[in-house]
Chain A
């Protein structure tokens, strides 16, 4: 063991004193001190030496991220501020039992004040939507029912249309009318009492039309 450490020190010694690799030839070969050169450590007044670092461009990436942040925050900050102020200063509603004899408005079934405002300002009440749907269904059902009349039943016997007519008209309708005759009757009524441009625009008398052959070049 002692021999090993002696060998190791001898090897280090010869490596340092190697004549093939001698860097300096001054008198401090046998000592362990470092050579003191005349170079002084440079102390910069700025942030160090300016380097020209060559790397691929990040202009487009940084521009994209900048624009992304800009456009998100442009609407995001006002919306966040609005929601914060609504939650702090107005606050959510509390659940309560419906008082006797009181019918709450349709927006009073929601908790958050912004939801309530949307329901009050923009949406119809669900009751109204329900009624609208039922009205549509009833109109379609009536149309479906009426389309079945062409095939089998004369329309004159339908009680709904009978009570719209006067007495003598009722007697007219009870005994044999076709759907086409009823259509003409309806159009006559609409022309007299109805509204809308289709029925009120004045047209020429139909008797002036010449139905004889070769009356117009296209016949």
Chain B
């Protein structure tokens, strides 16, 4: 079965089983519905999954995450060395994708926190809020308005403009 989510990052409130205090003799509808769901959906799906895993239990193949070596960046390339430019560009594109995924994970954490805490999220999820703000500001300042045809050169020029603006302010 696939792994469950990380319980530390997305904490759940402690479950409170209520003390049963039945005051009516009518059957409990929640129990009826849960049993109905179990027998009509949960049990068939689980048995099917077990059968399929029984068929597949012998030969398991594996897949891996590719690890890329670090190559010299655009600033470390000689001028006119187009091969070096190409490798730096590919590395920048991989880093761009990784950064996009990082921002998505932080967003997901903030969303889960807001869902958990309800109306008092601005107080209880302060850490996640600060983290999200920091990460999104950094992403915006580095990759912000580069557009669909973004490249390592354009990002470098944006960094240059940023540094020049900082110097002018100082």
Contact = CB atoms under 8 A, between A and B. Distances in A.
Query: What is the predominant secondary structure among interface residues of chain A facing chain B?
Result: helix
B67 interface: yes
- Sort chain A's interface into a size bin: 20 to 34
Contact of B63 (A88, A91, A95): A95
Given A93-B61, A94-B60, A94-B62, A88 B82 contact: no
B134 to A, nearest CB: 30
Given A88-B52, A88-B55, A93 B86 contact: no
Contacts, number: 56
- Sort chain B's interface into a size bin: 10 to 19
Interface string B78-101: 001011001100100000000000
B63 A109 contact: yes
Interface string A40-67: 0000000000000000000000000000
Contacts of B87: 134
B64 A104 contact: yes
B40 interface: no
Interface of B: 52, 55-56, 60-67, 80, 82-83, 86-87, 90
Interface of A: 88-91, 93-98, 104, 108-111, 113, 116, 130, 133-134, 137-138, 140-141
7 contacts: A93-B63, A94-B61, A95-B63, A98-B64, A108-B61, A108-B64, A138-B83
